[in-house]
Amino acid sequence: MNNFYKKKIYLTGLLLLFWVVGFAQVKVTGVVKGSDDGQILPGVSVKVKGSDAGISTDINGHFSINVPADGVLTFSFIGYISQDVPVDGKPIVNVKLVPSTKALNEVVVVGYGTQKKATLTGAVATVSAAQIADRPVTGLTNALEGTMSGVTIISNNGQPGRDEGSINIRGIGTLNNTDPMVVIDGVISDTYDMNNVNPEDVDNISVLKDAASASIYGNRAANGVIVITTKKGKKGSAQITYSDYFGKQKPTDLPDYLPSWQAATLFNQAKINEGGTAVYTPAQIETFKNGSDPVNYPNTDWLGLFYSGSGFVQNHYVGVNGGNDNTQYAASLGYFDQDGITPKTNSQRYTARVNLTTKLNDRLSFHADLSYTFQPFTEPQASYPGVPAFSQVLRQINRISPIIPDKYPNGEYGHISDGNPMAWINSPSYNDQNTYNLQGIMGADWEIVKGLHFEPSLAYKLDQNQNNDFVSSIQYYNPDGSLSGQANISNANDLYSSLTIVTPQAILDYSLNVGDNHFKALAGYSQEFDGYYILEAYRQGFFNNSLSDLAAAPVTGQTGTQDSYQLGLKSYFGRVNYDYKGKYLLEGDIRDDGSSRFAPSQRWGLFPGGSAGWRASEEDFFAPLKSIVQELKFRASWGELGNQNIGSEYPYIATVSAGQNYPFAGTVAGGISPVNGANAAVTWETTKETDLGLDAGFLNNKLTLTADYFIKNTTGILSAIPVAATYGLTPPVVNSSSVQDKGWELALAYHGRANAFTYNISGNVSFVSNVVTSLGPSASPEISGANITKVGLPINSFWGYQATGIFQTAAQVSAHATQNLGGPTAPGDLIYKDQDGNGVIDGNDKIYLGSNFPKTTFGLNLNMGYKGFDLTGFFQGAANVQNIITGAELGTNSNAAGKPTALLLNSWSPTNTNTNFPRLWINYSQNDPSINPSSFWVKNASYVRLKNLQFGYNFPKKLTDALHIQKLRVYYSGQNILTFTSFYKGTDPEAPAGESGYDYPQVKTNSIGLNVTF
């Protein structure tokens, strides 16, 4: 044995010795309890720090684990702050976990940074990833419905790719676009971009509701701000998660159209009501009923033919997360695929995201977040002159009578003059849309001196849309095989558009603590460039229906257009925060915004804001109460915000428009003319908002409460208010109208536990009232169909006659005010109240009939867990909301282009006088809700929905360890499972205002899913 080997043996021995000393395992046991109530905590994860070894506490809160004598145990449990406990050779380690709701260090994402929740002075609602996890929602917007107070989300369309819903924060603040601003990882985005984000990538969402919180985002923040933060990398070895779900959709409700014999019966009645004669004899009606002659007396179930799509949904997601001390990463890939409940409707979403943070040195770090979303979409098109849209297919399905056969015995399509919607669906027509969204932000954080950070960033967003639609030519034939009408001309329209938004931004951030005085200051500059471009081309008269590329059609009749616009925004902003002992809190904001939409002299707007808070619970005098009330904070804020987001890009520039063409001798000559009114005085629209709030925690913070009262006034609303026709141009945008929203919001949460059984109850409710306070100098109301925007009423209220009953006799008709509203008034007609008492029922007798914007919205989340099982029921709803249905949604009387629903069955007739439903009509419009809306038709559209029901099972540790995975969960999840409402049967209560059968129904989804973490 030479020295070399001796040395080696010696070294090995030394190492072994070290190993024995350093890694001597001890068995540690203990009990884990909650610090709040002292109750035992089962299911707490107990892990040896730095290794994969770990177990969970048993039903009695006990654990037993082998640990190196100098090791550290990490205890973590949902709803509690993770705790690291050094073993230090002790055999027994008892731990009390602190509930995370009590955590003073919990931070909330706010504008350009984060803030401790405890010292927050604004009204900010937050949603965590857990609250939206594992729901078969098609987009982030839908996922948020009902989760936060003050945020009204309406989702009323279930079509794949068209089901994004609408969001309003604290009412309707303007007559313009009311979409809130969306910031995704610092990239200024639009509401629709929310659905470019994979819900599973989301770490948390903050909604900045009050003006003082939002004002830091100034020029786009008047409708509130939604700040979305995606999951960032965490230190540690790579963790891979995979999840999927598979589901099936069904409509929540469909109109109940009557079979052909009843359609014929009601058509007869309507004919008679209008002074005509019955069209169908009793024998013919009997033939419809008994189905003995399906060729001449069919009963076509159009909805059955139409709602025959699979409705299959699937979702897959893979995420990787990890990093070391200097660099952390999170990356994910997602795929979502949704088939509609009608044939040939489909939408898919591919998402990719990389979030990266790296520290160059102690003073300088860089971060880059990059995401890409590709969403292909397809739907059928109508071969209908002028309106080739899918909505026309929906409308005609809801319109075409069961008396019309889908196909004749000769194999040709039955049709009404508008065509046959099933022929359209089965034709090669399509509308394909590919949307591409790329967004990225790269930034740095440079700590120049201690506490002073310089944070420059550059955000870039590119939305591209490629749209390709093709309408095929369809020739209809009569049952005898002869030609019926002319075939429509096949055509294709291709469109490409892109929107680029570039946002450079720089922030100086300084914080300083002097004793109990904490200062924070922020100053920043940002600018935004929006560039939009669209190119569109059209050709018609394809040789046949098998080709649809533009190049395959003749050039005769082709058209091409292109349009573009560019916008600029510049902003300087600042914020100071001061708190004393975390007890007295102050914040001030200011922002100076410039917009290219306004003339140089009107361009800049200065918008200040401020807020203050007082944590009474931190005062000495509060101590006696502290055993009951652990946290009590009062907040107040006031702020001003500007809005310039209007449809017109250059509202102050008077222009002469091209394209005002006219033909001479068969040749079109190019013409120009002023078309749009301009207003050089146009400037920022201003929203002022005051918020009073309180946050409280009771029962060891198991019960928490947040309440807010707000009042929001928007003045100088930029709108093109109607101008008298003698002006001759489209009305210019003026700073004219004012709107007020006020209301209050309440959020309550309770976290409870009884041994192994845990439960959480959280609920929120918002009350908001909206009123138009001014409509410019003329104050002329804007009336459109059943809707009015009028001073003193909510925006876009329902407006119509007050129906007081039904005329039973001719004497009653003649005794009443003259009611000449599109047909001779007769018994069976609705009686409208003569509000002005002038003896004539006319436009002056219309009154406010309600509003489609819910005054009350609420959400209730019930969540319970027992061992590995968890059950969540999430209810959501709206109250104090009205809606009306018209046209095909209500049902009409016809034997071709119209059909009645069951709603029309109990109508008045000389033999059925004991009813409140008016007599049927065809052309007479006195009872028609679309032409003469009245209180009879406007109904309460309040509802409560079981929005999500989830039942999951987490496989026990033993099993997952054996499979070498960390976590395995399987679940059932259902969306829109149950709906309770007194609204019209057959129509979803969230359906668009005045729904008339043009819209895709809302859907419910049942799904099963899987989550695995490796």
Partner 1 sequence: MKKILIPSILIVLFLLSACSKDFLNRVPPDALSNATLWTDAADATAALVGVYNGQADPLGYCGPGWASGTEIAFFDGMSDNAYSQYPWDGIQAFGNGNITPTLTGYYAANLWNYTAITRCNYFLANIGACPMDATLKAQMIAQVRFIRAYQYFLMSQLYGAVPLVTTNLTPAQANASVRTPKADITKFILSELAAAAPDLETTSTGADVGHITQGAALALKARVELFEADYKDCITDYQAVMKLGYSLDPSYSDLFRIQNQYTNPEIIAAVQYVENPSSNSNGVIGIFPSNSMGGWSSINPLQSMVDCYEMANGKVITDPTSGYDPTHPYTNRDPRLAATILYPGAPYIPSGSTTPLYYDPLDPSSPDYYQSGNNTSPSGYEVVKYTSHLSDFDNLFQSGLNMTIIRYAEVLLSYAEAKIESNQIDGTVYTAINQVRNRAGMPNVDQTVYNSQSTLRSLIRRERRVEFAFEGLRYFDIQRWAIGSQVMNGPVYGARLGTVNATTGQYTITGDSIKVETRLFATKNYLWPVPQSEININKALTQNPGF
Output 4 or 664, the one with its CB closest to partner 1: 664
Binder of partner 1 out of 454, 698, 951, 953 (CB under 8 A): 454
Q: Is 727 in the site for partner 1 (CB under 8 A)?
A: yes
Distance CA 157, CA 433 (A): 18
Q: Which stretch binds partner 1 (CB under 8 A): 70-78, 203-211, 917-925, 946-954?
A: 917-925
615: Cβ contacts below 8 Å, ≥ 6 apart: 118, 119, 582, 583, 584, 585, 631, 632, 633
Q: How far apart are CA 567 and CA 963, in angstroms?
A: 56
Instruction: Please tell me whether residue 388 binds partner 1 under the rule CB under 8 A.
Output: no
Is 789 near partner 1 (CB under 8 A)? no
Of 722 and 992, CB closest to partner 1: 722
Which of 92, 449, 628, 665 lies at the binding interface for partner 1 (CB under 8 A)?
A: 665
**Mask: binding to partner 1, 295-324, rule CB under 8 A, as x and -?**
-x----------------------------
Cβ atoms of 257 and 986 closer than 8 Å: no
Beta bridge mates, 936: none
Question: 260 vs 315, which CB is nearer to partner 1?
Answer: 260
Which residue has tokens 């219309």?
846
| Residue among 662, 754, 837, 914 that touches partner 1 (CB under 8 A) | 662
657 counts as binding partner 1 under rule CB under 8 A: yes
> Are the beta carbons of 1000 and 248 closer than 8 angstroms?
no
Does the protein bind partner 1 through residue 416 (CB under 8 A)?
yes
In terms of CB distance, is 559 or 982 closer to partner 1? 559
Q: Which of 29, 66, 128, 673 binds partner 1 (CB under 8 A)?
A: 673
**Which amino acid makes up residue 642?**
G
- Count of positions on this chain that bind partner 1 (CB under 8 A): 109
Name the token pair of 530: 């929006």
Quick check: 722 binds partner 1 (CB under 8 A)? yes
Footprint on residues 598-617 left by partner 1 (CB under 8 A): 600, 603
Question: How far is the C-alpha of 757 from the C-alpha of 317, rounded, in Å?
Answer: 30
Please list every residue from 675 through 714 that binds partner 1, using CB under 8 A: 677
For residue 781, the 8-state DSSP code is P
Minimum CB separation from partner 1 for residue 55, in Å? Answer: 46
Mapping DSSP to helix (H, G, I), strand (E, B) and coil, where does residue 383 land? coil
Q: Which of residues 469-488 bind partner 1 (CB under 8 A)?
A: 478-479, 482-486, 488
Which segment (196-204, 510-518, 773-781, 904-912) binds partner 1 by CB under 8 A? 773-781
Q: Is 113 in the site for partner 1 (CB under 8 A)?
A: no
Task: Give the pairing of strands 452-471 and 491-514.
Answer: antiparallel
Distance CA 384, CA 474 (A): 10
Buried b / exposed e along 118-130 (16+ C-beta atoms within 10 A): bbbbbbbbbbebe
Which of the residues 340 through 359 are near partner 1 (CB under 8 A)? Answer: none
Give the bridge partners for 629, in sequence order.
698
Nearest approach, Cβ of 909 to partner 1 (angstroms)?
Answer: 20
Residue 925 in the binding site for partner 1 (CB under 8 A): yes
Residue 466 CB: number of other CB atoms within 10 A? 15
Nearest approach, Cβ of 540 to partner 1 (angstroms)?
8
Question: Pick from 427, 437, 541: which is nearest to 486 by CA?
Answer: 541
Give the nearest distance from C-beta 697 to partner 1 in angstroms: 42
For residues 418 and 453, the answer to whether their CB atoms sit within 8 Å is no
CA-to-CA distance for 138 and 116, rounded, in angstroms?
Answer: 32
Among 734, 813, 949, 1012, binds partner 1 (CB under 8 A): 734
Q: Residue 625 corresponds to which tokens in the numbers above?
A: 């109460």
**Smallest separation, CB 612 to partner 1 (Å):** 33
Binding of partner 1 by 283 (CB under 8 A):
no
For residues 666 and 839, which CB has a smaller minimum distance to partner 1 in the complex? 666
Please, what is the minimum distance in Å from the beta carbon of residue 803 to partner 1?
17
Q: Which residue has the tokens 């931004």?
A: 505
Determine the Cα–Cα distance for residues 348 and 555; give it in Å rounded to an integer. Answer: 34
User: Of 79, 376, 674, 868, which one interacts with partner 1 (CB under 8 A)?
Assistant: 674
Beta-carbon contacts of residue 693 (< 8 Å; ≥ 6 apart): 123, 634, 635, 636, 637, 706, 707, 708, 709
**DSSP code for 99:** B
User: Phi/psi at 324 (nearest 5 deg)?
Assistant: -115, -165
Interface region with partner 1, contact rule CB under 8 A, candidates 351-359, 567-575, 607-615, 944-952:
567-575
Question: Smallest distance from the beta carbon of 898 to partner 1, in angstroms?
Answer: 7
Number of Cβ within a 10 Å radius of residue 458: 14
Asked if 660 touches partner 1 (CB under 8 A), the answer is yes
Comparing CB distances to partner 1, the nearer of 621 and 664 is 664
CB of 778 to partner 1, least distance (A): 5
**Distance between CA atoms of 818 and 338, rounded to whole angstroms?**
54
Binding status of residue 837 toward partner 1 by CB under 8 A: no
Residues of span 851-910 touching partner 1 by CB under 8 A: 894-898
Q: Does 387 bind partner 1 (CB under 8 A)?
A: no
Residues 503-542 that bind partner 1 (CB under 8 A): 504, 506, 525, 527, 529, 540
For residue 838, state whether it binds partner 1 (rule: CB under 8 A): no
* 376, β-bridge pairs: 434
Q: Is 282 in the site for partner 1 (CB under 8 A)?
A: no
Please report whether residue 655 would count as binding partner 1 according to CB under 8 A.
Answer: yes
- Residues numbered 250-279 forming contacts with partner 1, rule: CB under 8 A: 271, 275-276, 279
Q: How far is the CB of 795 from partner 1 (least distance, A)?
A: 17
| Tokens (6 digits) for 273 | 């009501």
CB of 885 to partner 1, least distance (A): 18
Opening angle at CA 635, ends 633 and 640, nearest 5: 165
**CA–CA dist 95, 78 (Å, integer):** 15
H helix or E strand, kind and range, residue 572: strand 559-580
Residue ranges in 574-603 that form contacts with partner 1 under rule CB under 8 A:
594-596, 600, 603
Query: Least distance (Å) from partner 1 to the CB of residue 779?
Result: 9
Q: Which is nearer to partner 1, 321 or 595 (CB)?
A: 595
For 160-268, strand residue ranges (E) read 166-169, 181-184, 187-189, 202-208, 225-230, 236-251
- Residue closer to partner 1 (CB basis): 411 or 670: 670
Residue corresponding to tokens 């904001």: 589
Residues 67-96 within binding reach of partner 1 (CB under 8 A): none
Rule CB under 8 A: is residue 456 a binding residue for partner 1? yes
Give 495: exposed, middle or buried? Use CB within 10 Å, 0-12, 13-18, 19+.
Answer: middle
Of 2, 417, 546, 914, which lies in the binding site for partner 1, with binding defined by CB under 8 A? Answer: 417
Phi and psi, residue 135, nearest 5°: -110, 140
Select 722 or 956, whichever has its Cβ closest to partner 1: 722
Longest CA–CA span in the chain (Å) reads 129
Three-state DSSP state, 119: helix
| Phi-psi region at 310: left, alpha or beta (left = phi > 0; alpha = psi -120 to 50) | alpha
Residue 716 engages partner 1 in binding (rule: CB under 8 A): no
CB of 287 to partner 1, least distance (A): 13
Q: Which is nearer to partner 1, 271 or 575 (CB)?
A: 271
